[in-house]
Amino acid sequence: MNFRQIQAILHSWFGILFLWLIFFIFLTGSIAYFRTEINVWSQPEIVTQVQKMPTTQHAAEMAFDYLNQHAADAKRWRVTVANERMPVNLLQWQDQQGRHQQLQNPQTGELLNPLRNTLGGDFFFKLHYTLYPIPSSVGSLIVAIAALILLISLITGIITHKKIIKEFFVFRSFKGQRTLLDLHHITGVITFPFYLVMAFTGLIILFYLVFPWGLTEHYGKDGIPKFYSEMQFVEMAKPQPSSESMQPFQSFITQMPERTDEGAILDKFEVQKPNTSEAMISFDYNYKNIITLNTPQYIFNANTAQQLEQPRNMSAIAQFASSTYGIHLGYFASMWMRFILALLGIIGCVMLAAGALLWQRKRIKEQNTFTYKLVQHINFFTFLGLPFASGIYLLLNRILPLTSNVLINHQVTLFYCAWVFSLIFSLILPIRRGVIALTSLTASIFLLIPLLSFMTIPEASLWNSVLQQRWSIAGVDIACLTIGFVLFAFLRLYIKKTRDKA
């Protein structure tokens, strides 16, 4: 057995054993590029209550004044200032009762109520890197191992397919196994650079779970927070204790530019130990075109408004570590760039599905064995069941009651129930009829979502959203319509192909 044959075995078996988990991570990660837009769509009351976007300085001042009045004794305030993607202030604070979070109208300073109590797009983000609701440490470890396996599969795949560039320009349609092989090659070549970077940066982000021994040796058992603190800050800024009270917000904002030379605007601010002698406030700007998240801060003594020295760790290794987050999460990307990244993620899902079906097709003579049937059912459950469950999750946002905890308590549960329910189609129906039934149902659900929006929340319907240029809401509805039509087109092609073969 030569080296290439060994790589082929590794690629085939590593691929099939982890393929379904990697598909899950690919799909949820692709959706998570638009988690902010899905958040706004999931809580349409946000845009209907906020009629006009103020300046970032005014929005930040509204947040500061509210927290100073209603959370004066908190240990920390953290505010994400309203922006084009999320047109409301996100207020977070921590006190003796625990952690709190509210959305605020940046124009008037009033809290937004009532709102749908939902995870929105954050649900897909949590699924992507923690396999929510599994405990985050366990889920993240599984994802890190999957990233390592993906890295191995990508490299062995390149070695296995030695004519991969030549095969990239060959596609034999309606040829059964050859079609799946060509589709796997083409989509693999297209997405190879993207997923090589994603696998590597994801592994770097979660390296402390896969290789924890170095950090444990140097920092002790609980040294991970200290390590990341050192990666961000050379030395934590410490204001001189002062008996004065906290200065008004204007004392800080007048010392900072409205927009930096690079075009960045105020994004976040944090107040540590507010209304104490050691109160300190820090401001972060949103550098859209810069990959690293380790950008300069403005830091002040909150009691004297004196600007403190810049503590950020701007070393090369710190910038590299921060850039892995920036690249992987896509925070630097414009809307169109995020669309391209998400599209590459979906193409990667096609690559995985083609690879799994190819593995299954090669073993068609073993179709009566337990192993073959198990793979067949898991393929159905993953490739068709997960989109079906995702559609149900979004549909429930427009069905379940608004003013209660029913939505957040049941939306996630029903997502998993729907996903398990999809398995029934493959167990009680022949595979062909199961594919037709579940794909039809999934397509109908996605087409129904915008219609339900029109019926239950007319002010946030697709028509009104387009007229009022609320693209966060309109974009999700348009995406649902597109998915529905694409699934029906796939279904028509699938029925024609299987009918001709019969």
Q: In the β-sheet with 89-95, what is the strand arrangement from edge to edge?
A: 98-104, 89-95, 76-80, 265-272, 280-286, 297-301
Q: How far apart are CA 475 and CA 37, in angstroms?
A: 8
Are 78 and 101 a contacting pair, CB within 8 Å? no
In the block, residue with structure tokens 């390590």: 227
* Total length of the chain: 502
Report the distance separating Cα 78 and Cα 92, nearest Å: 5
Q: For residue 487, what pLDDT is reported?
A: 95
The encoded tokens of residue 24 equal 């899950």
Residue 220's contacts (CB-CB under 8 Å, 6 or more residues apart) are none
Q: Distance between CA 19 and CA 105 in Å, rounded? A: 44
- Rounded CA-CA distance 334/322 in Å is 19
Per-residue pLDDT in tens (0 to 9) along the chain, 502 residues: 666 666 776 677 767 778 999 999 999 999 999 999 999 999 888 877 887 888 899 999 999 999 999 998 899 999 999 988 889 999 999 888 888 989 999 999 999 887 788 889 999 999 999 999 889 889 999 999 999 989 888 888 777 766 666 665 566 665 667 778 878 888 888 899 999 999 999 998 988 888 887 777 777 777 777 777 777 776 666 667 766 788 999 999 999 888 877 778 899 999 999 988 889 999 988 877 678 877 778 899 999 898 888 777 778 888 888 888 889 998 888 889 999 999 999 999 999 999 888 888 888 777 778 888 888 999 999 999 999 999 999 999 988 766 556 667 788 999 999 999 999 888 898 888 999 999 999 999 999 999 998 888 888 888 888 888 888 889 999 999 999 999 999 898 888 777 666 5
* 3-state secondary structure at position 300: strand
- Within 10 angstroms of residue 167's Cβ, the number of other Cβ atoms is 17
Distance CA 269, CA 368 (A): 61
Q: Is the peptide bond before 133 cis (omega within 30 degrees of 0)?
A: yes
Among 26, 290, 7, which residue's Cα sits nearest to residue 143? 26
Q: What is the pLDDT of residue 402?
A: 65
Question: Within the chain, how many helices (H) and strands (E) appear?
Answer: 20, 6
Strand partners, 284: 268, 297
Q: Which two tokens stand for residue 413?
A: 């549960």
DSSP reduced 3-state for 271: strand
Alpha helices in 429-470 (DSSP H): 431-456, 462-467
Q: What is the DSSP string of 129-169?
A: HH-TTS-HHHHHHHHHHHHHHHHHHHHHHHHH-TTHHHHHT
H-type helices in 250-383, by residue range? 250-253, 316-329, 335-362, 370-383
Q: Which helix (H) or strand (E) holds 186?
A: helix 177-205
Q: What amino acid occupies position 473? A: I
- The pLDDT value given to residue 123: 95
Domain ranges of the chain: 1-43+118-234+313-362, 366-502
Give Cα 68 distance to the centre of its chain: 32
